[in-house]
């Protein structure tokens, strides 16, 4: 193996220290291939370059290595944390990688209970429950994380039934003159119009927070004590209110099957591996309540498992005996735990379907400051939780394999229908464009991206179309295609003088090594246009001007009566139209991509239209207009529309609004 690597790289390997650390391998294009950790850097890394790995997966990876970086750390735990931080942020090609582009949601309780004595605003004195996603701070109380938005909203409804806490925005709360519908249906106590005292509301908030922490029995006992205290004082109406709360809470506990157990916060992790794919099913238990499941599907499982199988021998025979090759399930589970809990709080107990390395638990303990333990052969309630998680992991993996098989069949059918190269269809990239507006207002263009047999939502883009006649879809299409691909062509030609008109087909060796402009979308293999001859003609003009291959352009023309299944494909290079047939797998894929582009354009257009018509968000963005001034403006003029139509003189009459600020508001809302 050493004869394919530079002397500089081999000298760098020979100079490595006998210390714990993390190493990173890069290929000739600078792409990260692999991130690994070692207790003995020199011995581990040297093994890659001294052994003959043949045509194995690890041999394929080693043959691509042209550069290496290493970081020495103080302990194996530090190496583990650094390794998985790098894997999560840099996406190496040969590591087990879990991708999750969404943060977990929380239930947030804002405000300061009992803050009336400190002169807090009404919105702070009467805390609000809200769904929240993002980074947490110390200003509010956060409960979770929850596995899904549905779990948060269900919990909010539960607390509304029992404690009737408010959920309205502070601006709405501050401007109410009579209670809303939630008060009428007994889901709110009406603090906006002083129908409950701050002290009684604060008690409800404390009980709600205790219930979220799993202190169910303590909450029931406190409520019973409060009911008896009212009764002793002959305050029978208040006692009856507390009694009704106790009954509602008991009913909810029964309906929701909330466990009153010693385990308050637990994560239950089950893994299944089949057909080269894996699923880790995470079930969350918070406050003794099972909140639901969330599946994760890692990539690069087979490559990473093959590489790891050889690594166990690299630290010497003693290490190989102490760390024998572990099943793929264990490797996947440990990769998930190490990557997942770098950005999410770890509970004190993990119930797992496979045994977990103690070094990993020690690293989590060191990182979180909380003693973390794991149980992989649980009993009683924990066993029931794990059995449920294992069943869900199996079902989710079976669903994934079925969907992937169907999607791959659709991709292959489309490639055959359009005479695209059949090799490496995983890399086949399709971009689809659609134009959306309402009578020429708020024109938006959408671009959605398909590759690896699925829609890639993180690569979607919206384009605000300006400078055209309202309703001119051809001009809008010309503008979005020019904006999308002119920069790609420029950057690529500067990087390597690439002629896109003669670009290599997807899957070929030339395509694999082709330059991809950093930070710029690459030219897709297929460009779908939602439209017929007219839209395709516009696309042909743009591609001709940019020197791009016309065979990449395909229009989706609606059939007779605009019926679904009768669509025809129109080509920019002069080929005859193609009718695929309403039961064609290729047409199903085209329709799926086209419909996604339409959905994405519609949602963007509606949001833009709402902002223009209602001014949503604009008032909050004006410097100098805080919550109090905003509330005064809304109350005086009856909403954002009223504020937008007011004159500078009228705006300046509002308490706290100076002439200069009134002029700024007037300009901003026009």
DSSP labels, 502-515? GPPPTTSHHHHTS-
What are the C-alpha distances in Å from 628 to residues 110, 115, 170, 433, 666? 17, 18, 10, 43, 18
Query: Does 475 score more than 80 pLDDT?
Result: yes
Helix (H, G, I), strand (E, B) or coil at 375: strand
Written as six digits, the tokens of 130 are 């809200």
Q: Report the percentage of the chain scoring pLDDT > 90.
A: 15
CA nearest to 474, candidates 433, 525, 521: 433
Mean pLDDT of 462-468: 87
Confidence of residue 23 (pLDDT cuts 50, 70, 90): very high
Confidence of residue 618 (pLDDT cuts 50, 70, 90): low
Query: Does 323 score more than 70 pLDDT?
Result: no
State the chain's mean pLDDT as an integer: 80
Taken in order of first residue, the domains within the chain and their CATH numbers are: 2-90 (3.40.1440.10), 266-398 (3.30.420), 425-612 (3.30.420.340), 615-668 (1.10.150.20)
What's the DSSP call for residue 299? B
Burial classification of residue 45, based on how many CB atoms lie within 10 Å of its CB (0-12 exposed, 13-18 middle, 19 or more buried): buried
Secondary structure element (H or E) that encloses residue 279, with its range: strand 277-286
Residues 254 and 215: their CA atoms lie apart, in Å, by: 16
For the chain, the residue count is: 670
**Residue with tokens 């949601």, as numbered in its chain:** 105
Helix (H, G, I), strand (E, B) or coil at 209: helix
Query: Does 263 score more than 90 pLDDT?
Result: no
Query: Does 269 score more than 90 pLDDT?
Result: yes
Confidence of residue 115 (pLDDT cuts 50, 70, 90): low
Mean pLDDT of 149-162: 84
Query: Does 307 score more than 60 pLDDT?
Result: yes
Task: Give the CA dihedral 89, 593, 582, 539, nearest 10 degrees.
Answer: -140
Residues 95 and 63: their CA atoms lie apart, in Å, by: 16
Higher pLDDT, 615 or 25: 25
Q: Quick one: pLDDT at residue 299?
A: 83
DSSP labels, 104-172? PEEEEE-S-TTGGGGT--HHHHS-BEEEEES---SSSEEE---SSHHHHHHHHHHHHHHT--B-S-HHH
Confidence of residue 431 (pLDDT cuts 50, 70, 90): very high
Written as six digits, the tokens of 521 are 């979308």
Q: Quick one: pLDDT at residue 608?
A: 62
Written as six digits, the tokens of 530 are 């939602």
Confidence of residue 139 (pLDDT cuts 50, 70, 90): confident
Q: Quick one: pLDDT at residue 321?
A: 46
Residues 485 and 478: their CA atoms lie apart, in Å, by: 11
CA nearest to 307, candidates 325, 281, 330: 325
Tell me the backbone φ, ψ of residue 455, rounded to 5 degrees. -70, 140
Q: Quick one: pLDDT at residue 100?
A: 62
First to last CA, the chain: 68
Lowest-confidence pick of 79-83, 266-270, 304-308: 304-308
Burial classification of residue 432, based on how many CB atoms lie within 10 Å of its CB (0-12 exposed, 13-18 middle, 19 or more buried): buried
For residue 262, the tally of other CB atoms under 10 A from its CB is 8
Residues 124 and 116: their CA atoms lie apart, in Å, by: 9
Residues 444 and 600: their CA atoms lie apart, in Å, by: 10
Q: Quick one: pLDDT at residue 118?
A: 52
DSSP labels, 549-588? -GGGEEEEE--GGG-TT--EEEETTSPPPEE--TT-HHHH
Q: Quick one: pLDDT at residue 73?
A: 87
Confidence of residue 477 (pLDDT cuts 50, 70, 90): very high
Q: Quick one: pLDDT at residue 252?
A: 57
For residue 626, the tally of other CB atoms under 10 A from its CB is 11
Higher pLDDT, 491 or 576: 576
**Residue with tokens 């103080």, as numbered in its chain:** 74
Q: Quick one: pLDDT at residue 270?
A: 95
Higher pLDDT, 384 or 325: 384
Pairing of strands 277-286, 373-375: unpaired
Secondary structure element (H or E) that encloses residue 366, with its range: helix 358-368
């Amino acid at each position: 193996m050493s004869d394919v690597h530079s002397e500089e790289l081999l000298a760098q390997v020979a100079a490595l220290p006998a210390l714990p650390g993390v190493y990173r391998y890069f290929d000739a294009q600078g792409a990260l291939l692999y991130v690994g950790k070692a207790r003995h850097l020199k011995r581990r890394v040297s093994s890659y370059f001294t052994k003959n790995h043949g045509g194995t997966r690890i041999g394929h990876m080693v043959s691509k290595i042209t550069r290496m970086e290493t970081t020495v750390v103080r302990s194996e735990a530090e190496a583990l944390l650094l390794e998985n931080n790098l894997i999560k942020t840099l996406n190496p090609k040969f590591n087990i990688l879990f991708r999750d582009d969404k943060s977990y949601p929380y239930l947030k309780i804002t405000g300061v209970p009992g803050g009336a004595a400190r002169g807090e605003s009404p919105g702070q004195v009467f805390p609000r429950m809200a769904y929240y996603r993002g980074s947490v701070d110390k200003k509010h109380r956060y409960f979770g994380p929850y596995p899904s938005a549905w779990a948060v909203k269900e919990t909010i409804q539960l607390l509304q039934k029992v404690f009737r806490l408010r959920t309205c925005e502070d601006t709405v709360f501050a401007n109410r003159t009579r209670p809303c519908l939630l008060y009428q249906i007994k889901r709110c106590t009406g603090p906006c119009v002083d129908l409950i005292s701050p002290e009684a509301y604060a008690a409800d908030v404390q009980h709600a927070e205790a219930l979220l922490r799993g202190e169910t029995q303590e909450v029931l006992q406190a409520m019973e004590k409060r009911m008896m205290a009212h009764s002793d004082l002959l305050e029978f109406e208040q006692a009856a209110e507390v009694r009704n709360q106790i009954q509602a809470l008991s009913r909810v506990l029964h309906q929701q099957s909330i466990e009153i157990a010693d385990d308050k916060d637990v994560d239950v992790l089950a893994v299944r591996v089949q057909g080269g794919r894996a699923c880790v099913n995470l079930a969350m238990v918070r406050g003794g309540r099972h909140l639901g499941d969330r599946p994760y599907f890692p990539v690069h499982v087979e490559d990473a498992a093959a590489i790891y199988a050889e690594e166990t021998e690299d630290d010497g025979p003693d290490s190989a005996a102490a760390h024998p090759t572990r099943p793929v399930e264990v490797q996947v589970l440990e990769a998930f735990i190490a990557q997942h809990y770098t950005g999410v709080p770890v509970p004190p107990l993990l119930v797992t379907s496979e045994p977990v390395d103690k070094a990993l638990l020690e690293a989590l303990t060191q990182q979180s400051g909380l003693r973390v333990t794991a149980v992989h052969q649980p009993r009683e309630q924990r066993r029931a939780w794990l059995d449920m998680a294992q069943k869900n992991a199996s079902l989710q993996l079976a669903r994934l394999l079925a969907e992937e098989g169907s999607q791959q069949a659709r991709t292959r059918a489309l490639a055959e229908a359009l005479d695209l190269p059949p090799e490496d269809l995983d890399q086949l990239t399709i971009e689809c464009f659609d134009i959306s507006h309402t009578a020429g207002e708020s024109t938006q263009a959408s671009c959605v991206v398909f590759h690896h047999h699925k829609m890639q939502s993180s690569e979607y883009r919206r384009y605000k179309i300006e400078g055209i006649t309202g309703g001119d879809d051809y001009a809008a299409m010309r503008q979005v295609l020019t904006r999308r691909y002119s920069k790609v062509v420029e950057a690529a030609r500067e990087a390597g003088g690439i002629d896109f008109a003669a670009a290599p087909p997807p899957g070929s060796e030339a395509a694999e090594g082709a330059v991809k402009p950093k930070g710029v979308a690459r030219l897709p293999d297929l460009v779908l246009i939602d439209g017929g001859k007219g839209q395709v003609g516009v696309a042909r003009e743009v591609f001709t001007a940019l020197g791009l291959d016309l065979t990449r352009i395909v229009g989706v023309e609606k059939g007779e009566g605009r019926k679904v299944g009768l669509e025809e494909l129109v080509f920019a290079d002069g080929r005859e139209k193609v009718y695929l047939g309403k039961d064609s797998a290729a047409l199903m894929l085209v329709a799926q991509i086209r419909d996604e582009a339409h959905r994405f354009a519609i949602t963007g257009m509606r949001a833009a239209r709402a902002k223009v018509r209602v001014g949503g968000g604009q008032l909050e963005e004006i410097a100098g207009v805080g919550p109090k001034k905003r509330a005064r403006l809304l109350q005086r003029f009856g909403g954002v529309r009223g504020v937008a139509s007011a004159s500078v003189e009228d705006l300046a009459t509002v308490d706290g609004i100076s002439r200069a600020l009134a002029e700024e508001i007037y300009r901003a809302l026009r």
